[in-house]
Structures are given as structure tokens and as C-alpha cells.
Amino acid sequence: MAIAHSLCFAQAKGGVGKTSIATNVAGLSAAADLRVLLVDLDPQGDCARDLGYPRDDGAETSAALLAGTEPAVLRNVRSNLDVIPGGALLGDPFLDALLDNRALADALPTRLEAMIRSAGDYDLVVIDTPPGHTSLNRAVLAVVTTVLAPVRLDASSIEATNDLGERFAKARALNPYLTLAGAVLFAVPVTAHRLEADARRQLLELLGSDALVFRSVVRYGVAASKEARDLGKLAFEVDEISEGARVARFAALRANRDGSQIVETTRFISNAGALADDYHNLTAEVLGFMREQHAEFERASA
């Protein structure tokens, strides 16, 4: 049975922003007083970098999926935000276990659903998926209600969305609650208006008229993104830190206009606010879509 109010960010290609979008949407939703569970199923475990908690090897998550044991749940990584961590043991060792035992692969959707439900009751479940892990991604599509595909502007990223669309069509036959929300453009250069328009046109052709290419985009913000991961902070948290540093810097300049004293202040990132706004707008659009989707399900089941 699909888990209500569940969302996965999935794409056949890596490096398209799945983890960054998943963590920022989860964190902003939690900051908006929703109870959120973030499930990291990627062997790289980079949700840890974005949120600043210690890296995990994924052993307990792997065991929960393969043997039905209780998962490790990191409580209150942020207020209202819990995390089931990923890690390296969800990579080759996990895949080898599935290849050696077909029954384990067949049981994955049931085990994944049980693992998520065992963590508690949440207003929103966000899943970060690994690229190319067919069995695990198939299990995710069997239990979530909403799929969103992050896409860069390059041709290979756009073409990979076609593979996801085909995978979605197969999963929809097993999970009638599954909805392909569409695509969100990631790492878009601020001045690349023509490239963005071309990418939107190609995505609409690939996904079909019923699919949605989100209005919100995540722009290319190298400094702010690097600073966020270095600090283990989300974009809106870096923006808050940066704004405080900006105010402090100008206050220091005003206090030392004669140049007789140098006051050190925390550096600020100039594009942190723009990146935070992008994630805020995207989160609002995602949550709005999911509210409408849930209302449709309620009407259909009435």
C-alpha cells in the first residue's frame, strides 16, 4: 500500500541535484512545522553532508530492507525532521544480496514500506534515491505517491528522464496511487533563458501533456552550495548566517571608517539568498502539488 504524503526524487542519471533538492525540501517543510521523515537510500549517503550529521555506513538501513529489522532513525536532525541514513552498504553489498536471492528483491517493496512506517507518523516522507539501482528504485516507486525528477540542462540529463518515464509507467501498473509530478530544472545559469526554454520544451515532449515541468528552478549557485555542504547547513540556514555576517560587516565598516582599527567578521556569501529563495519557491510548489494530489485521492475514494 502506498504511503500517503510520500515523495521521492528520482532520476536515472547521477549528479542532477537529487540529494540537494531532497534535503532542502525536507528541511524547509520541517521548518514550516510539518513532521518530516527523510529516507536516504543512496550509498553515497550525502544527506549527511547537507544536514551535518555523522556519516553512516547504512548497515541498519540495509538490514531493515533485507531482513526486516528495525532501522536506525536519527531523531530531530532538525526540529520536526528525522532521518533514516544511507551509506556504502546500500551499494554493492546490498546489490549482491539481492542478486543471490530473488525472494529478497521481491520482498523489497514490503520491507521498505514497513521500514518507513516503523519510524513513526509523519506529515511528509521524502526519499532520496540512488541512480541506476533498479531493484531499490522499483521498490521506492511501489510505495510512494509522488515522483519528481531533477534535471540539468544538458542533453544526457534530459534523455535520462525518458528512462525514468518508462520506469514510472511500469510501476504505475502496480501502484495506482503513483503520480509523476514532473521535472524540476537544477543548476540553471541565471542568464541561460534560451537553454532553459529549450529544456522545458524537450521535457514536455518526453513526459507528455499530463506531466508538469515545475515553474520553480534551482539556479546555479556554486559558492552558496559549497558553503552549505562545508557547514552541514541547508540553503536557507546559510542565508540566515550570511545575512547576519553581512550586517556585522557593514556595522564594522561604519565603526571603523577612519581605518584605525580592523575588525574581523564572518564572511558572507552573496548569492545565498537567491539559492534559498529558489528552494523555498520549489518547496511551496511541491507541497501545493501534493495537497491537490491528496485531495483528488480523497475525492476518488469517497
CA dihedral 231, 232, 237, 239 (to 10 degrees): 40
Domain 6-231+273-301 has CATH 3.20.20.70: no
The pLDDT assigned to 73 comes to: 99
- The pLDDT of residue 255 is 55
Burial 2-40 (b: 16+ CB within 10 A, else e): bbbbbbbbbbbbeebbbbbbbbbbbbbbbbeebebbbbb
User: Residue 301's pLDDT is what?
Assistant: 63
- In this prediction, residue 265 carries a pLDDT of 41
Q: Where are the domains of the chain?
A: 6-231+273-301
Q: What is the pLDDT along the chain (302 residues), one digit of tens a residue?
A: 899 999 999 988 889 999 999 999 999 999 999 999 999 999 999 999 999 999 999 999 999 999 999 999 999 999 999 999 999 999 999 999 999 999 999 999 999 999 999 999 999 999 999 987 789 999 999 999 999 999 999 989 998 888 887 888 889 998 999 999 999 999 999 899 999 999 999 998 888 755 689 999 999 988 889 889 999 999 999 999 887 544 554 455 455 555 545 444 445 556 789 999 999 999 999 999 999 988 877 776 66
Answer whether 0.75 is exceeded by the pTM: yes
DSSP 8-state class, residue 273? H
Q: CA–CA separation, 73 vs 118, rounded Å?
A: 10
Residue 209: the pLDDT is 57
Query: Smallest Cα–Cα separation from 68: which of 36, 13, 8, 113?
Result: 113
